[in-house]
């Protein structure tokens, strides 16, 4: 779940993916480095959307939806000052590994758990409640989870709702609306959605949202998103440089590698230096000899 205030969670879940072992009759090619070892890769904190894994005609225990609706009425989805003193939460706050960070998010952000439970719901009562929250709600955390939850239905009827949320005055809601549109595309290039995202990005007052949305638009096939990121990877602000560099590393090829490599020798901010190293490693396979 990629909220602007938790943008680091985009990069902080761990997944270890091993390549399929070749059959004895098909020895690995000596020239293929990918056949030599498993791949270790950092991946986003992912909403698993358990509803999407159920049979289409599955009948849920009615208490599940009833409890989720009740939890949506809570005034705050984060621990208050007293609850933060809980020794268990204190221990979680001290974890610094990738899995540890994920546990912190899971148990200090109830919105993450609610989004998982609601994501992809086909229940009309839940869908109507989520739409009402998006349109009239005042708690931006709950509005954000409602946007994400409806996005996982991949139902085109909700695109106008997400477009309307792009006009919200709150940066968290706008950020999540862009994320929701990206989820709607379901990993496939989509010129309509990429155009909506990119157009909204150009007028968004938040530069972080603009860069995030430019990356999404690029991933969905709009190359203008690439140009926006290239415009900002040498920005005066270190966070902007880091943000733009990360997304260039996500999508760039040899042309981007040659552009950002010189930056490694002049960059002074440790976070941007780390992002540059990550991006260059990600694009190493595209580097020209």
> Per-domain residue ranges for the chain?
211-289
pLDDT of residue 13: 34
User: What contacts 3, CB < 8 A, 6 or more positions away?
Assistant: 9, 144, 172, 175, 176
* C-alpha–C-alpha distance, residues 250 and 13, integer Å: 16
**What angle, rounded to 10 degrees, do the helices at 124-136 and 62-71 form?**
10
Give every residue of the chain whose pLDDT is below 70, as ranges. Answer: 1-46, 78-85, 88-89
DSSP category for residue 14: E
DSSP category for residue 42: E
**What angle, rounded to 10 degrees, do the helices at 98-108 and 110-118 form?**
80
pLDDT of residue 139: 87
What 3 state SS string does 63-88 have?
Answer: HHHHHHHHHCCCCCCCCCCCHHHCHH
pLDDT tens by residue, 195-212: 999 999 899 999 999 999
Based on DSSP, count helices (H) and strands (E) in the chain, helices before strands: 14, 2
pLDDT of residue 152: 94
* C-alpha–C-alpha distance, residues 190 and 198, integer Å: 12
C-alpha torsion sign, points 283, 16, 110, 53: positive
Nearest CA among 287, 263, 259 for reference residue 277: 263
């Amino acid at each position: 779940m990629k909220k602007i205030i938790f943008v680091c969670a985009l990069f902080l879940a761990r997944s270890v993916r091993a390549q399929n072992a070749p059959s004895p009759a098909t020895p690995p090619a000596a020239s293929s480095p990918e056949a030599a070892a498993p791949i270790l890769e950092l991946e986003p904190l992912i909403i698993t959307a358990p509803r999407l894994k159920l049979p289409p005609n599955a009948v849920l225990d009615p208490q599940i939806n009833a409890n989720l609706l009740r939890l949506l009425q809570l005034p705050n989805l984060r621990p208050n000052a007293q609850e933060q003193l809980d020794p268990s939460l204190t221990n979680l706050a001290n974890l610094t590994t990738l899995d540890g960070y994920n546990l912190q998010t899971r148990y200090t952000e109830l919105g993450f758990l609610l989004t998982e439970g609601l994501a992809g719901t086909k229940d009309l009562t839940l869908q109507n409640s989520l739409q009402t929250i998006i349109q009239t709600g005042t708690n931006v955390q709950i509005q954000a989870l409602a946007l994400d939850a409806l996005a996982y239905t991949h139902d085109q009827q909700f695109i106008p709702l997400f477009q309307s949320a792009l006009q919200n005055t709150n940066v968290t809601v706008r950020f999540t609306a862009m994320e929701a549109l990206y989820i709607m595309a379901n990993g496939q290039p989509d010129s309509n959605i990429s155009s909506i995202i990119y157009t909204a990005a150009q007028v968004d007052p938040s530069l972080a949202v603009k860069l995030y949305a430019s990356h999404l638009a690029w991933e969905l096939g709009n190359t203008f998103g690439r140009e926006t990121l290239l415009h900002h990877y040498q920005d005066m602000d270190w966070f902007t440089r880091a943000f733009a560099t990360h997304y260039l590393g996500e999508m760039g090829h040899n042309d981007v590698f040659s552009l950002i490599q010189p930056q490694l020798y002049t960059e002074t901010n440790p976070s941007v230096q780390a992002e540059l190293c990550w991006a260059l490693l990600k694009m190493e396979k595209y580097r020209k000899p």
